[in-house]
């Protein structure tokens, strides 16, 4: 039975995973040190414009921001629950809304990340987002609705947040 299992394992093993027993080295020949496996060279990172900064947190209050990334001015952010006036009391998630103006002469394609922390530096929630199609055209102002998922209950009691913005072509 053991021979059948061993044969089955050898047949199912990926190619090169099973090798013959090592050859004995004659006593007169020095043992060769194993050669390290060649590692692939890391890919060169594409140069992107990047911004990241810590800000004080305020719930359900428009917070003006004075930040800029290669012509993309970050005007403001606010955090609140998404609601619908027609359905009183209905909530549709927690969000951060970022408003930007593109003062550059070309379209900017931003990606946003917001991480919210309490006064003990515990992470309370994370939201990410950006444009679905295209970007922010020159001299346009646009808003981006970033949704928090799953971990959201403590966000209204946050102390500070980090906003990161990364531009792509």
pLDDT at 37: 64
What tokens does 67 get?
């930040």
Q: What's the pLDDT at 24?
A: 52
Express as a percent the part of the chain with pLDDT over 70.
Answer: 68
Domains, the chain, ordered by start: 49-168 (2.60.210.10)
Alpha-carbon span 155 to 59, nearest angstrom: 8
- The pTM of this model reads 0.69
Please give the Cα distance from 67 to 80 (Å, whole number).
Answer: 21
pLDDT at 129 over 70: yes
Three-state DSSP class for residue 7: helix
Residue that is written with structure tokens 């990161």 in the block: 164
Output the pLDDT for position 5: 41
Strand boundaries in the chain, DSSP class E? 49-56, 63-69, 72-83, 91-102, 109-117, 123-129, 141-148, 160-168
Give pLDDT tens digits for 38-61.
666 666 655 579 999 999 999 999
What confidence score (pLDDT) does residue 8 get?
44
3-class secondary structure, 54: strand
Q: Are 138 and 150 in contact (CB under 8 A)?
A: no
Task: Find how far residue 35's CA is from the centre of its chain.
Answer: 36
* pLDDT for residue 19 is more than 70: no
């Amino acid at each position: 039975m053991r021979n059948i299992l061993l044969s089955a394992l050898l047949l199912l093993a990926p190619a090169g995973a099973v090798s013959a027993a090592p050859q004995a080295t004659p006593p007169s020949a020095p043992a060769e040190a194993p050669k390290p496996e060649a590692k692939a060279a890391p890919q060169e990172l594409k140069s992107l414009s990047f911004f990241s900064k810590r800000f004080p947190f305020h719930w359900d209050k428009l917070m003006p921001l004075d930040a800029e990334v290669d012509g993309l001015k970050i005007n403001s952010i606010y955090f609140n629950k998404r609601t619908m006036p027609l359905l009183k009391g209905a909530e549709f998630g927690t969000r951060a809304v970022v408003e930007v103006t593109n003062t550059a002469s070309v379209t900017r394609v931003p990606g946003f990340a917001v991480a919210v922390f309490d006064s003990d530096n515990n992470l309370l929630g994370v939201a990410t987002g950006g444009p679905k199609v295209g970007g922010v055209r020159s001299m346009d102002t646009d808003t981006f609705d970033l949704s928090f998922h799953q971990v959201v209950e403590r966000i209204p009691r946050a102390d500070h947040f980090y906003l990161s913005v990364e531009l792509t072509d």
